[in-house]
Structure 1
Amino acid sequence: MKKLLFALLLLLSGSAATLYFVPATQLASLRLIEQYRAGLSHEQLSVHNLNIHYYRGGPASGETLVLLHGFAADKDNWLRFSRPLTQDYRVIALDLPGFGDSDLPPGSYDVGTQAERLADILDELGVQQAHVLGNSMGGQIAALFAARYPERVRSLALFANAGIESPHKSELYQLLTSGSPNPLVVKQPQDFDKLLRFVFVEPPYLPESLKRYLGERAMAKATHYDQVFKQLVERPVPLAPELPKIQAPTLLLWGRQDRVLDVSSIEVMQPLLNKPNVVIMDNVGHAPMLERPEESALLYRGFLEGLK
């Protein structure tokens, strides 16, 4: 339960000062402990006048893993997931432009633009080749990057990626097309519970004071997230035509109970990729790296080791 609770905080807060009733110094220490256990340090760099934050860890001689979070998330999503990886791999977990601690760029947040920003960020980091992993929106960005820059991608891992018109429409799709509010954007205190039920199969228990505080934090970001989501919808970049361009070995990993992006997306993607590895995790929702960090990390590590 403690692990799941902290995973929830990482997913939904994106900030050190989260636990309303806990001194900031204690929580900052907790976050530092998680970074330490994962072997990660918090760093930043400037790319085209944008301040980009990221975690970096692992041996400099190791092959590089680039981890991309999803919509309304940040680099903290990968803290516990990274623990089994930094022993042998050089891990870079980004706050994509406009998310987490990174600056909000002028212009578009569509995934095509973000894929080009990713190329610029990796140039600045001196990363010429990497294993690229993304979840949700980050998965779509990762796939576009792999299609556009095949020479730079050693392997590709997509955790419940966006960008596919799935045969079976997800609950999120059905809600939005019926005119219902977006459950991923918290605009009222009660919306927070809806978000929890969408993200996790079994939402963890949260004290009311903490739930209220996290809801208020999420509400404060609602306008920005609304704008980003609107751009993602109005400026779509369909992924299916891009998939045959991907040359890298690919892992498709999904939670069977994902309510945000339906697992049937795999049926569309699998024939368009070159013999991808496919893993479907039972009793897992939209963020496997948070709901089952160790299990999903070991599955990913096994995929990487199988490439050698």
Structure 2
Amino acid sequence: MKKLLFALLLLLSGSAATLYFFPATQLASLRLLEQYRAGLANEQLTVHNLNIHYYQGGPASAETLVLLHGFAADKDNWLRFARHLTANYRVIALDLPGFGDSDLPSGSYDTGTQAERLADILDAMGIQQAHVLGNSMGGQIAALFAARYPERVRSLALFANAGIDSPQKSELYRLLARGEPNPLVIKQPQDFDKLLHFIFVEPPYLPESLKRYLGERAMARAGHYEMVFKQLRERAIALEPQLTRIQAPTLLLWGKQDRVLDVSSIEAMQPLLRQHSVVIMDDVGHAPMLERPEESALLYRRFLEGLK
């Protein structure tokens, strides 16, 4: 493993020409380095003829954390966050069906269907109970899973979850209501930089060549993401009626400056949850685990430790 780390460091300290001409190689090297730091291995299994990819790490005998990414995202969203959890927990970060490296099923992508797929995936892994955490779309899937399978969820954490009719409408909601393009779907190279500024208060630094590569990769899936987003809207499942069925202690964590899903969603959720705690992070956008990985992981760990 030390030799692998040394090789990665050599790659990452390579010339600007390498970065410019081979951004895919640079990205793969960065991913491997982050996996190493987080103590995660890239694994896969087949569930109902779907190849599902995921990261797994931490003590096999420890309590299990299942991490679910949001729309048009993947398991990499959790790498820096998971780094602060794998010492004490078994961590599983999934590529949900239709995202990341996992297969694209031909059926529906509504959050209810994905919640049932999650149940099947955990069955295939032999996981009967877990702490479940989700961001955005993944948060709605996590909440639906907790409502449908309360006996399987030790705790629930929702990071800016979808599915709530928020009292104050988000900027994304207003844009779509006016018929403007969806900023979450990349259709032109320049859209990727706009997306970063839409998601984050302070976008992470990325070399232009890497931005261009990531933008092109997202553009290649634009048609798929548009289809998924259309299904999410047309087959929307209101989360409010489901929240009363959730028995697990629940953490609601939101970025105060979230432009995708408004923080006022918390106001609608609090009266419907049996046991909940709330954290609102200032100067943070829609993805706390990416924008403030260490801080958000510490907040989550405190929530978990408070359950004991």
TM-score by length of 1: 0.91
Preserved CA contact (<8 Å) 2:67 2:133: yes
Counterparts of 2:173 and 2:132, CA distance in 1? 27
Between 1:203-212 and 1:136-145, the stretch displaced more is 203-212
Preserved CA contact (<8 Å) 1:20 1:213: no
How far apart are residue 204 of structure 1 and its match? 3.5
* Structure 2 match to 1:7: none
**Closer, same or farther in 2 for the Cα pair 1:44/1:174, shift >3 Å?**
same
How far apart are residue 220 of structure 1 and its match? 1.0
**2:58 is the alignment partner of 1:86:** no
Counterparts of 1:30 and 1:205, CA distance in 2? 14
What is the SS of the residue equivalent to 1:81?
helix
* Structure 1 match to 2:179: 179
Unaligned ranges ≥5, structure 1: 1-17
What is the SS of the residue equivalent to 2:274?
coil
How far apart are residue 23 of structure 1 and its match? 6.4
The one-letter code matched in structure 2 to 1:274 is R
* Structure 1 match to 2:66: 66
How far apart are residue 287 of structure 1 and its match? 0.2
The one-letter code matched in structure 2 to 1:198 is F
* Structure 1 match to 2:43: 43
What is the SS of the residue equivalent to 1:262?
coil
**Closer, same or farther in 2 for the Cα pair 1:172/1:25, shift >3 Å?**
closer
How far apart are residue 51 of structure 1 and its match? 0.2
Counterparts of 1:98 and 1:23, CA distance in 2? 24
**2:120 is the alignment partner of 1:120:** yes
* Structure 2 match to 1:248: 248
Preserved CA contact (<8 Å) 2:67 2:92: yes
**2:227 is the alignment partner of 1:227:** yes
Preserved CA contact (<8 Å) 2:199 2:259: yes
* Structure 1 match to 2:52: 52
* Structure 1 match to 2:294: 294
How far apart are residue 156 of structure 1 and its match? 0.1
What is the SS of the residue equivalent to 1:65?
strand
Counterparts of 2:230 and 2:198, CA distance in 1? 19
Unaligned ranges ≥5, structure 2: 1-17
Preserved CA contact (<8 Å) 1:261 1:286: yes
* Structure 1 match to 2:103: 103
**Closer, same or farther in 2 for the Cα pair 1:149/1:251, shift >3 Å?**
same
Counterparts of 2:30 and 2:226, CA distance in 1? 31
Preserved CA contact (<8 Å) 1:160 1:252: yes
Preserved CA contact (<8 Å) 2:166 2:265: yes
How far apart are residue 210 of structure 1 and its match? 3.0
The one-letter code matched in structure 2 to 1:231 is Q
* Structure 1 match to 2:278: 278
* 1:207-261 per-position Cα deviation (integer Å, ceiling 9, x unaligned): 4333322222221111000000000000000000000000000000000000000
How far apart are residue 82 of structure 1 and its match? 0.5
Counterparts of 1:206 and 1:307, CA distance in 2? 38
The one-letter code matched in structure 2 to 1:286 is H
What is the SS of the residue equivalent to 2:21?
coil
**Closer, same or farther in 2 for the Cα pair 1:204/1:92, shift >3 Å?**
closer
What is the SS of the residue equivalent to 2:181?
coil
Between 1:264-273 and 1:25-34, the stretch displaced more is 25-34
TM-score by length of 2: 0.91
- Identity among equivalent positions (%) equals 85
**Closer, same or farther in 2 for the Cα pair 1:34/1:204, shift >3 Å?**
closer
What is the SS of the residue equivalent to 1:97?
coil
* Structure 2 match to 1:139: 139
**Closer, same or farther in 2 for the Cα pair 1:206/1:59, shift >3 Å?**
closer
* Structure 1 match to 2:159: 159
How far apart are residue 75 of structure 1 and its match? 0.4
**Closer, same or farther in 2 for the Cα pair 1:135/1:19, shift >3 Å?**
farther
What is the SS of the residue equivalent to 1:172?
helix
Counterparts of 1:83 and 1:213, CA distance in 2? 26
* Structure 1 match to 2:190: 190
Counterparts of 2:80 and 2:206, CA distance in 1? 20
